[in-house]
Chains A and B, each alone.
Chain A
Amino acid sequence: MKMMKVMMLIVMMMMVMVMVSEGSIIEPTCKETPDFNLCVSLLNSDPRGSSADTSGLALILIDKIKGLATKTLNEINGLYKKRPELKRALDECSRRYKTILNADVPEAIEAISKGVPKFGEDGVIDAGVEASVCQGGFNGSSPLTSLTKSMQKISNVTRAIVRMLL
């Protein structure tokens, strides 16, 4: 009985392993992006990643962009109190990141889902631009550096994947 349970467990594990490596196009896709490691870690962190097609992978990354934009906006909101001298730059960042959330992300999701990826490419590129502009507003010492850099990197990786759909 015990032997049977163990064998069943082993077989099931092997089936899952085979299935997972079987369907996943994450690694070959990420190889074609400017940041393989970032790409793989982002896509593997989403349960849909292993069975997604190229469009699906792009949509997962756009979700990450959305999440990161939300996180950054929260950080910006918190900074108003802590660093009131940075109000002007924070206002600009707030505007830029709201654009990512309200314009770039919905545009990219609709475009990729409907098979006109070029508009998705525009939205994704713009997410990187908005992050750069926000960062540039701090004249050197920015409290948002790691977040904006992250957005730029994710934007570059996502763009590479969206271009595969053209």
Chain B
Amino acid sequence: MADPNQETHGPRRRRPFKGLLAVSFGLLFIAFYVALIATHDGSRSNDEGIDETETITSRARLAGVSEKRNDGLWKLSGDRNTPAFDWNNSMLSWQRTAFHFQPEQNWMNDPNGPLFYKGWYHFFYQYNPNAAVWGDIVWGHAVSRDLIHWVHLPIAMVADQWYDSNGVWTGSATFLPDGSIVMLYTGSTDKAVQVQNLAYPEDPNDPLLLKWVKFPGNPVLVPPPGILPKDFRDPTTAWKTSEGKWRITIGSKLNKTGISLVYDTIDFKTYEKLDTLLHRVPNTGMWECVDFYPVSKTAGNGLDTSVNGPAVKHIVKASMDDTRFDHYAVGTYFDSNGTWIPDDPTIDVGMSASLRYDYGKFYASKSFYDQNKGRRVLWSWIGESDSEASDVQKGWSSLQGIPRTVVLDTKTGKNLVQWPVEEIKSLRLSSKQFDLEVGPGSVVPVDVGSAAQLDIEAEFEINKESLEKILGNASVVAEAEEFSCEKSGGSTVRGALGPFGFSVLATESLSEQTPVYFYVAKGTDSELKTFFCTDTSRSSVANDVVKPIYGSIVPVLKGEKLTMRILVDHSIVEAFGQGGRTCITSRVYPTTAIYGAAKLFLFNNALDATVTASFTVWQMNSAFIHPYSDEAVRALSRT
């Protein structure tokens, strides 16, 4: 029997057929729509980062961060009346440094795998062989006997495997007990997934470690479940656990919580991921270039990464992708489950108030244990603050900071102290010593001849009388709680007890100058608070460079004089307050305070206080960083 509901095709059936079709379509449509609504919510929640609560926070963060970082740039964008600055090659070539590490040309960023091996310090770095901007990244390589005099070597690793064809990114070295080296690094695969790879020297007998072999079984680690394929990079040096395994940590994020994943391994080829994280801090974003290491609570030497025990604290450091600041915290490591907690959770890693290695331009830093001299040494990428057009014109971009030793401040117990490696003193040439009393509101030229390559060590003392008068005077406003280097207007704003310090890379008329100074302020409890700042706002008349005011509070203990050290090297100024408790690296691009026109001044802009400055200024030699040649290597090996 024919089924009356069965569809038939035929003109005689048109009317009921049409009705049937209409109903079918209707049902289909409703079903389709329902299905879409059901999946609509599902796909929304998988969508990266665009849900209600997040939009509110990201708006706030965006506003906050944009304003801060855009400071110099907003002024530029809005200011149509300032003529564009005409950079000429003479000005640009002056910017190249004399004694800071930089490749002969092109772009550099993160330090990679620093180590000491068979008499040589090795330095690897993120390098673009093709341009003066980031891209096409490979591992550059250089060696030195003393962390100061370098010779460039051929590229150590190129992007020649599927697992790193999109980039041979940052990594770290670990020494095995037999003295051999393993290198773990992040590769960006041919599908742009971030993975970890193993490499080792091709010839362990070659002290120059010219050639590297990649483990055929790479990658050794891929993003684990729950971690996005582009949030998994920068493996650390490994340390030994009490079980005798090796342990590493890798930064990442879960939504906006910065985290550090932990893996154990025996052979660096297979790993077990711990269920626990080394640490996590909400709202800090992606953690790049995580670094984890022990510091002695009592001694001034460095410690091998595997050292643990009661006399030791552990540092967790991360580079915050969101803000481009390197933050660290002092804390306690629990080896049994691979976790770490900060001593002070209110200044946990990545929080805006947490400690920074450096309050200026300083990112992607990495430390290593120098077994040659028993110290921990810190490298850091110092980017440019100029326009990319200038970088392209001058043909290069970025520097490394002078390597610094890093130890726990045994006097405060709460922060690290950094100091340029001793070996930099070998660059000191002639010196001049000064002992000057500087009254309020004075600027004193310091005659040292050439002033673009200097090492300055200075001690300051505020006149006792001035101090007592000001502290005792109730009408002197307690401004310490409101003061900040960044926001309080720079070195021209005069307070009772500051600012005072040096103006480097200054023209005779001070039309361009970079003041590095202390600002001492009275706190509400009548105690003094000291700030250490670098003001680059007038470092150049050019309007296409970023000119922030950098700095932070610097702890000054009872009985301590105020001390600062400044390394001036053309377009970089590294400043160290109170023996390296607070450090500030700045990039400056003067247009007239260059070559012979660059001068040094001492100044005291305080309203009332007289200051005594005792200081020595050394002329600094070039480090003569050489391009690769056997001769250059031989010359260095004789040192």
- Listed in ascending order, the chain A residues whose CB lies under 8 Å from chain B are 3-4, 7-8, 11, 14-15, 18, 22-23, 25, 28-29, 31-32, 53-54, 89, 92, 95-96, 99, 102-104, 106-107, 110-111, 113-119, 122-123, 125-126, 128-130, 132-137, 139-140, 142, 152, 159-160, 163-164, 166
Contact = CB atoms under 8 A, between A and B. Distances in A.
B388 A128 contact: no
Contacts of B321: 117-118, 166
Contacts of B40: 22
A34 to B, nearest CB: 9
B73 A166 contact: no
A107 B543 contact: no
Contact of A166 (B36, B133, B135, B322): B322
B65 interface: yes
B540 interface: no
B48 interface: yes
A156 to B, nearest CB: 8
Contacts of A116: 230
A11 B25 CA distance: 8
B543 A136 contact: yes
A103 B544 contact: no
Interface of B: 18, 21-22, 25, 28-29, 32-33, 36, 40, 43, 47-50, 55, 58-59, 62, 65-66, 70, 73, 76-77, 79-86, 131-136, 166-167, 188, 192, 194, 229-231, 285-286, 321-322, 324, 387-389, 391-393, 543-544
B84 A92 contact: yes
B84 A134 contact: yes
Contacts of B18: 3-4
Nearest to A128: B77
A89 B80 CA distance: 13
Contact of B134 (A96, A107, A135): A107
Contacts of B286: 166
B387 A129 contact: yes
A130 B84 contact: no
22 contacts: A3-B18, A18-B33, A18-B36, A31-B55, A32-B59, A92-B86, A96-B389, A99-B392, A107-B131, A110-B134, A122-B388, A129-B73, A129-B77, A130-B389, A133-B389, A136-B81, A137-B84, A159-B66, A160-B62, A160-B66, A163-B322, A164-B49
A163 B229 CA distance: 18
A95 B166 contact: no
The interface centre, meaning the residue of A89, A117, A133, A163 with most chain B CB atoms within 10 A of its CB, is A133
Given A54-B49, A104-B388, A118-B324, A28 B231 contact: no
Nearest to A130: B389
Contacts, number: 147
Contacts of A25: 47, 50
B391 to A, nearest CB: 8
B47 A133 contact: no
A25 B83 CA distance: 40
Contacts of B136: 110
Contacts of A107: 131, 133-135, 388
A22 B86 CA distance: 50
Nearest to B25: A7
Contacts of B322: 163, 166
Contacts of B36: 18, 22
The residue among B85, B134, B136 with the most chain A CB atoms within 10 A of its own CB is B134
A92 B70 CA distance: 23
Contact of A123 (B29, B62, B82, B388): B388
Contacts of B324: 118
Contacts of B229: 115
B48 A114 contact: no
Contacts of B43: 22-23
B135 A133 contact: no
Q: Which 10 A-B pairs have the closest CB atoms?
A: A115-B230, A137-B84, A99-B389, A119-B134, A136-B84, A107-B133, A126-B388, A103-B133, A133-B544, A133-B84
Nearest to B40: A22
B47 A136 contact: no
A95 B50 contact: no
Nearest to B55: A32
Contact of B80 (A7, A123, A136, A166): A136
Contacts of A4: 18, 21
A136 B389 contact: no
A139 B543 CA distance: 14
A18 B34 CA distance: 11
B488 to A, nearest CB: 26
Nearest to B322: A166
B388 A103 contact: yes
B80 A135 contact: yes
A114 B192 contact: yes
Given A18-B33, A122-B388, 17 more contacts: A7-B22, A15-B32, A22-B36, A32-B55, A107-B131, A107-B388, A128-B73, A129-B77, A133-B85, A133-B387, A133-B544, A134-B84, A136-B81, A136-B82, A139-B81, A163-B322, A164-B49
A115 B231 contact: yes
Contacts of A163: 62, 65-66, 322
Contacts of B188: 114-115
A25 B55 CA distance: 12
B65 A110 contact: no
Contacts of B133: 103-104, 106-107, 119, 123
A53 B33 CA distance: 23
A41 B21 CA distance: 40
B25 A129 contact: no
Contacts of B393: 95
B9 to A, nearest CB: 12
Among B65, B73, B192, B285, find the residue whose CB has the most chain A CB atoms closer than 10 A: B73
Contact of A103 (B65, B131, B543): B131
A112 to B, nearest CB: 10
